[in-house]
Chain A
Amino acid sequence: METCFLAGRIPLVVWVNCMKKCQMLLKAAWRKQKGSICGIFLLVTVLSLCLFSSLTLYVSGRQSVKAEMEYLGFGDLTIWINGDRGNLSGEIENLSDVERVVCQSLIFAGYEINGRYSDNEGQLLYPDSSVPYRFITGEGEELSVSEIAPGTVYISPAMKSIYDVETGDIIQFELSRQDGTYGLTVAGYFADGFMGSSMMDMKSFLVNREDYAAMKEIVLAADKVDALGREGAMLHIFQDSESDLSALDFYKQIQDRTDVSLYTEFSYRQESILSYMLLLQNILSGFLIAFSAVLFLVCMIVTGHSLSAVVEQDKKDMVVLKILGMSGKEIRKVYFLLYGGVILAGLFLGLTFAGRIAGSLAKGLITSTGMLVLVQRPLLLCALLLMGLILSFAAFLFLRTGKILTVAPMETIRETAGGKRVRTAIRRKFLEWDIAMRELCFGKKNYIALFLIAAFLAVFLAVLGRMGTWLGPNGEGLMNVFSVADHDLGVQPFNKEVPMDEIERVIEWYSPIRETYELAMESVTVNGQEYEANVLNDTDWFHILKGRACEGNSILITDTVASELQLSMS
């Protein structure tokens, strides 16, 4: 008989045979396990899409807004002041901790669009070389506009969702009671890294320089009583790079050493503007990231389940392979390769399309964020995460396929020789039902795995479908999730004689009032600085993150306020 084992010519033959062997077994496994393999592939793809697109959205949103603010030349601190205080910026600039101040003149004015009046004043600006605004289309593409034509205005895309504005609509700015309004036609949109988000009530409008001058004249000419619009300015203050003051101390110093507090309307630090601008995107990406985490767990569970199901189901074949002289390690390698390959493919497929998904998400969100988000994949972060995912999946697969090593030929050979006992009886009357039940009993785990995959895909699709509704046109939907009422109605009495219960009754006529609380707009002084505050009674109503509802001489504040003013409990 020919000798089979020849030490010399092994390597290539062994290698080729190994490949062939793997290929054949992979093909065999595919024939048998198409269902669960496809399910896992889909699940992992969705996981990867979801995770990487949300990460991309989160990181590029932040970068874009920051870049936009830097590009526009907005400083570490921006103070809105009323009136034209030309000398003030010079005064601030002289402080040692201040590097420079950029002053942008503006007009505060209420406005009306398509019959709807604004709740807040808008700010009218004219672009000059000091602040290079970027123009965009309503779909989120960049647009080059050399000059704003007279009689036109550019707005934030977020206005589209708030007021249903289209290009060509006319916005009426209310400047004075006497001369009435000043109408401008919407010509397009611009990226407002500052107040663009629909989460910000005050909106910026870019107008032509001549229009601006004409409007300014109307405002200045009007009597104090007649004037509806006001002059004002934004002071973008840059902290000196050598200054080591905290943001709060920096602001305090400016207030102490200059007259700025006399004219301040309001002020924001760069960080707080960023957080307002990114609120929606962060909610969305946070939601997606949380969802990805859940999906990751689901992937693990489903993969684990179908792997044990497959090992159980293929036990006989594995035993045969062992009898034919394949080692447990080699068999494990095949399963490892199959599932690892599928998971890897899913991860990379998801990663490939994550950029596009993030891009279209960002574009879809433009009417809420008002921002042009330049999608940049955070390569390092993605690579690290990908590595982490691959490693954890690999470890998981490795653990889960360990069982293959312990499959013992003898047991299975004896088992099949004797025949396995069947526990469910088949009755003639319910033949089909009984056969189905028996099938279910034998392939139990397999069916559970399939069911899990199906259920989670269904949930995911449902979530995707609902997402649009949840978020609503400008994040309102999301806000509604957290508030029970359909509408919030604020009623402000002019004097003490107004009968509040009468008003409540009028409202009740139309719709039930769920709850009322009193609200006062008060000026408050916190650590020596003045703020306008919404003061509410009945604090049991809110979700309290820390501490307890108000009793006696204590107040509740929101998270944002606390971080803004650096307050802590008690």
Chain B
Amino acid sequence: MKGKMKEIIFQGTDMIKTFEETKVLQGISLELYKDDFTVIMGPSGSGKSTLLYAVSGMDRLSEGQLFYRGKRSEMTDIAHATEKELTYLRAAEFGFVFQSTHLISSLTLEENIRMAGLICGSMSEKEIRRKTDVLIHQMRLEKAKDRLPAQVSGGEAQRAAVARAVVAEPEILFADEPTGALNKANTEEVLNLLTTLYAEGQSILLVTHDREAALRGNRILYLEDGFIVGELELGSYLGKDREREWKLASWLEGFRW
């Protein structure tokens, strides 16, 4: 992959985020590329989530600049975008997955997925249905699709959340510890899904402190005390790979992981 010119979708410079006196992001500059599976690792409390929310425009930066270029040709200044612009971005260009599923409790899994399609605003009803059916099949949700979130298992719910995040074919998928609340089997399943999506061309930004999850990315950033202190190029994940695991482990050792 190295050497090939990659399209930049996010460009942040000197990003600072302060919460009442505490500087959580202390001046981060980074670029995110299209078609990458970027992983942000770091100890708990290092500011990983804060960075993800700042980049995705969910939370405002305190200082610094952040530009985004996605489906549309013009650049968006995320740090200073209007609420309307951010709403559009969330609807049409960004997908989100969190540790807790955040499904709408009064809609069935299928309706939850379709709702995201409807909100994105650029797909016809027919397209949405087709896409939803494909995703339900891909996420193996056929049995659970007509149940409410409270009536399905954690794994099913999280798979539905992933499906909902990508139904509108977003430019980038943001995932904040999506496997944090899952057991081993379900974790494996969700990671496999992300890997598949990545292989199909989905750009992903994943925040995690799970080594297994980090292995799936092709570019790993290490965050500590509000600074990015390391970066590792891994190449695409193509199934279990001893050498890849070793590479990551030795890199992480440098940060006393």
A325's partner among B91, B98, B114 (CB-CB below 8 A) is B91
Q: Is A321 an interface residue (CB 8 A)?
A: yes
A320 touches B103 (CB 8 A): yes
Query: Given the interface contacts A3-B71, A4-B168, A416-B100, does A326 sit within 8 Å of B119 by beta carbon?
Result: yes
B residues within 8 A CB of A320? 102-104
**Chain B residue, CB-CB nearest to A29:** B106
How far does the Cβ of A63 sit from chain B's closest Cβ, in whole Å? Answer: 50
A324 touches B71 (CB 8 A): no
Interface residue stretch chosen among B81-89, B135-143, B219-227, B249-257: B81-89
A32-B111 Cα distance, complex, nearest whole Å: 15
State the majority secondary structure of interface residues on A: helix
B90's partner among A4, A10, A322, A413 (CB-CB below 8 A) is A322
> Which has the most chain A C-beta neighbours within 10 Å: B103, B111, B122?
B122
B residues within 8 A CB of A5? 71-72, 92, 122
B105 touches A316 (CB 8 A): yes
A residues within 8 A CB of B201? 1
Range class of the A interface residue count = 35 or more
Q: Is A486 an interface residue (CB 8 A)?
A: no
How far does the Cβ of A5 sit from chain B's closest Cβ, in whole Å? Answer: 5
How far does the Cβ of B51 sit from chain A's closest Cβ, in whole Å? Answer: 14
Total number of residue pairs linking A and B with CB closer than 8 Å:
105
**Chain A residue, CB-CB nearest to B202:** A1
Interface residues of B in 153-174 (CB under 8 A from A): 164, 168-169, 171
B91's partner among A16, A324, A413 (CB-CB below 8 A) is A324
A residues within 8 A CB of B107? 24, 28
A5-B71 Cα distance, complex, nearest whole Å: 7
Q: Is A410 an interface residue (CB 8 A)?
A: yes
Interface residues of A in 412-441 (CB under 8 A from B): 413, 416-417
A13's partner among B58, B93, B122 (CB-CB below 8 A) is B122
Q: Bits for A1-31, please: 1 = Cβ < 8 Å to B, else 0.
A: 1111110001001101100110011001101
**Chain A residue, CB-CB nearest to B91:** A325
B106 touches A28 (CB 8 A): yes
Q: Is B194 an interface residue (CB 8 A)?
A: no
Q: Is A317 an interface residue (CB 8 A)?
A: yes
B125's partner among A17, A25, A317 (CB-CB below 8 A) is A17
Q: Is A327 an interface residue (CB 8 A)?
A: yes
A17-B120 Cα distance, complex, nearest whole Å: 9
Interface residues of B in 95-119 (CB under 8 A from A): 96, 98-100, 102-107, 111, 114-116, 118-119
A59-B35 Cα distance, complex, nearest whole Å: 75
A212-B125 Cα distance, complex, nearest whole Å: 85
Query: Given the interface contacts A31-B106, A322-B90, does A13 sit within 8 Å of B98 by beta carbon?
Result: no
Q: Is B53 an interface residue (CB 8 A)?
A: yes
B106 touches A317 (CB 8 A): yes
Q: Is B59 an interface residue (CB 8 A)?
A: yes
How far does the Cβ of B86 sit from chain A's closest Cβ, in whole Å? Answer: 9
Interface residues of B (CB under 8 A from A): 53, 58-59, 71-72, 83-84, 87-94, 96, 98-100, 102-107, 111, 114-116, 118-125, 164, 168-169, 171, 201-202
Interface residues of A (CB under 8 A from B): 1-6, 10, 13-14, 16-17, 20-21, 24-25, 28-29, 31-32, 316-317, 319-327, 409-410, 413, 416-417
Given A32-B106, A324-B90, 11 additional A-B pairs, CB 8 A: A1-B171, A5-B72, A21-B115, A24-B115, A28-B111, A317-B105, A317-B106, A321-B119, A326-B91, A327-B83, A327-B87
